[in-house]
Amino acid sequence: MSEKIALQIDQLLVDSGLFETEVKPTAYDNDFDFSNETILITGAAGTVGSELSKQLFGCRYKNLVLVDMAESPLYDLIKTFELNHKNHTYYHLLNINDSAPLHFVFEKYKPTMVFHAAAYKHVPLTEEHPFAGIKTNIFATKQLAELSIQFGVKKFIFISTDKAVNPSGIMGMTKRIAEKHLSYLNVQYDTVFLNARFGNILGSNGSVVPLFKKQIKNGMPITLTEKDISRYFICKRKACYLILKMARFNKNTTNTFTFNMGEPIKIIDIIQRMLKYYNKNGSDIEIKYTGLRPGEKLFEEMISENEYLEPTLVEDIWAVKEKNKQKFEAIDFKSLEQINFYTPYSEIKSILKKYL
């Protein structure tokens, strides 16, 4: 492991609040003014949604509407806002797949800006439950976009993933299809649809880093899929700061953006840095290699072969542009609509591939 990668990992771990060293947390200026905006956040109690909400604590906004289907995490978020005495903040416990309550929220609050962070994001789980991934990642996104157009939302920011690039699994495929649909809508309607494509949030809910920490502290074997597996990482504070920066973007030649996440990091290197800080007694801890799980790739990419990156006026945000410009076409959802809970996995994957 190079010194540069070691420092990158340490900075990520510090920024994610996972340990303290002589490395200082990265500082971000909270200079956002949304005083004329009614902001709707889906998946508001999740890793990205809750961090977006918390970064908005210090901002001015007209109204903030927080939506999530997870009862306890949403309750915790409500209590956080109450402790900070934030007014003009509203909460709704609902599933974004349910059209009636979602329509009610749009009709009641008439949001001007939507941050769509709700999704099924776990690769192995969406492989096992593809219908759930399709319903939420594709059709709920489609429904939200249609409501945004209907109610005159000015900006719709979609939280995508690097797994949407050359996707091999169900999760990445669903996210890529959603990206393509929003890119089409962006050129057809006044609403600005922006795709924020970035890598793994270090220390996010359900991620491997908290599991590694638990395994190390308990002297358990550390489970890792492959020795050479690598990922792009970003801390949630930086990701959400850049998402809010993105919210200032208007119609442009592209609507997909990605963030500066440094070099891809081998997971084994993260384990080695964590062992240095958490394995205080120096005991031997075994690393068990379990093999790639269904839908997983050895490494991720930020752009496809037909794409390139171009700097924007905002530091650490890059525009994703196409080398050979293609006209965005409307997606015919008929085949996707035929998929149900009982559709065989092989058939589902075959249908999804037609839309990539």
Write the pLDDT tens digit of every residue in 294-329.
Answer: 999 999 999 999 999 999 999 999 999 998 877 788
Domain ranges of the chain: 22-203+238-265+305-353
* DSSP 8-state code for residue 220: P
pLDDT digits (tens, 9 = 90+) for 46-99: 999 999 999 998 888 999 999 999 999 999 999 988 877 678 999 999 999 999
Report the pLDDT value the prediction gives residue 63, as an integer from 0 to 100.
Answer: 96
Q: What percent of the chain has pLDDT over 90?
A: 74
Examine the residue annotation and report whether 163 is marked as an active-site residue of this protein: yes
Question: Taking the domain 22-203+238-265+305-353, which CATH number applies?
Answer: 3.40.50.720
The identity of residue 100, as a single letter, is: A
Going by pLDDT thresholds of 50, 70 and 90, the confidence category of residue 3 is confident
Q: How confident is the model at residue 133 (pLDDT cuts 50, 70, 90)?
A: very high
- For 190-206, give one letter per residue: b (16+ CB within 10 A) or e: ebbbbbbbbbbbbbbbe
**Catalytic choice (135, 142, 155, 163):** 163
pLDDT-based confidence at residue 20 (cuts at 50, 70, 90): low
Unique residue bearing structure tokens 């927080």: 66
The whole-number average pLDDT for the span 179-196 is 96
- Locate 122 and state its tokens: 């776990």
Counting other chains too, the contacts that 284-289 makes at CB distance below 8 Å and 24 or more residues apart are 285/215, 285/216, 285/219, 285/220, 285/221, 285/222, 286/221, 286/222, 287/221, 287/222, 287/223, 287/224, 288/221, 288/222, 288/223, 288/224, 289/224, 289/225, 289/226, 289/227
pLDDT of residue 205: 73
- Biggest CA–CA distance in the chain, Å, is 61
- Above 70 in pLDDT, residue 22? no
